[in-house]
Amino acid sequence: MKKALLIIFLVLLIDQAIKIYVKTHFYLGQEVQLAGNWAILAFTENNGMAFGMEFAGKYGKIFLSTFRIFAVIGLFWYLNDVIKNGAKQGFVWCMALIIAGAIGNILDSAFYGLIFSDSYCGVAHFASPGYAGFLHGKVVDMFYFPILTGHFPQWVPFWGSEQFIFFRPIFNFSDASISVGVFLILVFQRKFFSKANAA
């Protein structure tokens, strides 16, 4: 459990350091190219879900934030249980990445509205009162990788001739942590859940 907690702490430290830096040094919509046109630091905010997706309004955000908190509690309980039952170390690390990512975005929603001014009129700063109440803060996103751009062929149904961008969503370190954790569990599920090689 100590290694899992260390992973969670390190992910949260990196995630919050990046978010606070972007929030206090970028104005909303500002972009900085990291590697040409395919790797961009682009400051955006969203109301809750991963990769900039939205959830229904004020009450939807409270529901989403509350659900996340209970989900993290459940994941911690599950992680503790699988560790006691000899889970593979790789699986434990993946679960730690998922938990850390979930906590990272909860922190934005819970506290950023309380401690920051909004980012609409310029660079945000620490403020009291902030721009929103508890659990109503916006999640900070910044990583944008439009690696491939072009237009769909005219014969493609619904999207013919429309522009496409891959990868379109703008995300943060927490989103990446969750995605990596889930991806690795899917890729190595046979190894992680093999009884014959259980650690």
Residues annotated as catalytic (active site), given as ranges: 141, 175
Tokens encoding 117:
């001014």
Tokens encoding 97:
């990445």
d(CA 47, CA 54): 6
State how far the alpha carbon of 108 is from the alpha carbons of 3, 92, 131, in Å: 25, 25, 12
d(CA 192, CA 181): 13
Residues facing residue 65 across a β-bridge: none
For residue 171, what is the enclosing H or E element? strand 170-171
Q: What angle do CA 64, 62, 31 make, to 5 degrees?
A: 70
d(CA 177, CA 167): 17
Of the candidates 109, 110, 102, the one whose C-alpha atom is nearest the C-alpha of residue 177 is 102
Q: What angle do CA 45, 49, 52 make, to 5 degrees?
A: 45
